[in-house]
Amino acid sequence: MKRVVKINLAPTDAQAHALHETLVLCNTAADVVSRVAQAVEDRRAFALQKAVYHQLKALGLSAQPAVRTIKKVADAYATRGANLEAGNYGPRGGKRATDIAATAIGFRALAAQPFDDRCLSWQQQDSTVSIWTCEGRLKAVRYVCAPWQRELLEHRCGETDLVFRDNMWFLYATVDVPTPEPVVVQEFLGVDLGIVNLAVTSDDTAASADWSGGAVTARRTKYARTRRALQKVGSKSAKRKLRGRREKEHRYATDINHQISKTIVAQAQRTGRGIVLEDLSGIRERVRLAKTQRQQLHSWAYAQLRDFLTYKAVSVGVPLVVIDPRNTSRTCYPCGHVDKANRTTQDRFVCRMCGHVDQADHNAALNIAYLGYVQYTTTTRSHRAV
């Protein structure tokens, strides 16, 4: 399983200056490549290399950094093309999509730069790296990491990105970690992801956690209120604070998602069960919500939460099943009766057929666990038959 490990660099002032100038040079070169790529049809890395390689060499890039820069630009155009095709910039032929397609991609002066093993090497016994810069090869650049990060670096493979963020230097290293075979389970833990309660399990333990319900909702409401006040002011100082607020909110959401996923995976592993999630792809386009709930839906990284749950489960061998969420919140778990009216309020479930009463998210989590079990056993049986 491939993962990315974030390592803190601790360069001296002279080393930091060389790294800074290197990022500026590489991204200046990326802009040169981007202008050429915008004007041609064939934007593959090999085709672009034929067109601009000698230009980049003349700018001061060595051979391998020039190749990595060209590949970065080619990947950026491939990503933009996929987003245009998927309609993420509006309908094809629309003004926004047309304007984006007609404009060359720009790169920030200090945007991240990928390096391969020829440009960057690790000396783990000394906790240093050797890295190419426009001022020559820098050796003995110190890095700082936790013991678990050092263990992951033993499985390093592929590129490493040099990143400058919040006046700090980082290396984002790609690692390929061996994963255990998923264990065979007989039971599953259902997880219902929601707007008010971010995650509720079929064990009903998540509903009492700090990240499920009032605590997180209050924090998100406070952030939204502060953001609106700063946007209303509109001054340079307010805009500067807004940028800082966005970063703070992002860190908070990422931390909460890590807490949720770690708790759920540990719970499933401890009890010898698998995990079942809903497939919420495209939920923002499918659902219609009250105005008061739209901000909550669009301000949380549900895809990130699912990614965290997935990689944490895979890393410890816990099976993870994804099911169709249709009617899971309308179905009575004991009797199976499906009715929109069963959910009397956001938090309360009362079955119109058998009278079963439950917390709505917990009832949905039980349905999710059952559907995951059915899907898992059916798939396992078919694999065994083959």
Between 96 and 242, name the one with better pLDDT: 96
User: Where does the pLDDT of residue 293 fall: very low under 50, low under 70, confident under 90, or very high at 90 and above?
Assistant: low
Edge-to-edge strand ranges of the sheet holding 320-323:
199-201, 188-193, 274-278, 320-323
**What integer pLDDT is reported at residue 386 of this predicted model?**
43
User: Residue 17 pLDDT more than 60?
Assistant: yes
- Is the per-residue pLDDT at 244 higher than 90? no
Q: Please, what is the average pLDDT of the chain?
A: 87
pLDDT tens readout for residues 85-104: 988 898 888 999 999 999 99
pLDDT over threshold 60, residue 304: yes
pLDDT for position 49: 95
* CB-based contact 346:363 (threshold 8 Å): no
pTM for this entry: 0.77
pLDDT at 71 over 90: yes
What value does the mean pLDDT take over residues 62-88?
95
In the predicted structure, residue 385 carries a pLDDT above the cut 60: no
Residue ranges and CATH numbers for the domains of the chain are 2-176 (no CATH), 188-210+259-385 (3.30.420)
Q: Which long-range contacts (CB under 8 A, 24 or more apart) does 303-309 make?
A: 304/253, 304/254, 304/257, 305/193, 305/198, 305/199, 305/257, 305/260, 305/261, 306/193, 306/277, 306/280, 308/257, 308/258, 308/260, 308/261, 309/191, 309/260, 309/261, 309/264, 309/265, 309/275, 309/277
Residue written as token pair 């759920």: 264
Tokens of 299: 């301000």
Percentage of the chain surpassing pLDDT 90? 60
Q: Is the pLDDT of residue 207 over 50?
A: no
Which among 16-20, 83-87, 191-195, 355-359 has the top mean pLDDT?
Answer: 16-20
Q: In this predicted model, what pLDDT tens digit does every residue of 129-164 receive, in sequence order?
A: 999 999 999 999 999 999 999 999 999 988 999 999
pLDDT at 346: 79
pLDDT tens-digit series, residues 310-331:
999 998 999 999 998 889 989 9
Report the distance separating Cα 361 and Cα 359, nearest Å. Answer: 6
pLDDT range class, residue 296, cuts 50, 70, 90: low
Q: Is 38 or 290 the better-scoring residue by pLDDT?
A: 38
Residue 292: the pLDDT is 55
Q: What's residue 273's pLDDT? A: 94
Higher-confidence residue: 67 or 284? 67
**217 band by pLDDT with thresholds 50, 70 and 90:** low
Looking at the chain, list the stretches that DSSP marks H as alpha helix, in order from N- to C-terminal side. Answer: 13-39, 45-59, 63-86, 95-101, 147-153, 214-233, 236-271, 283-286, 291-298, 302-315, 360-385
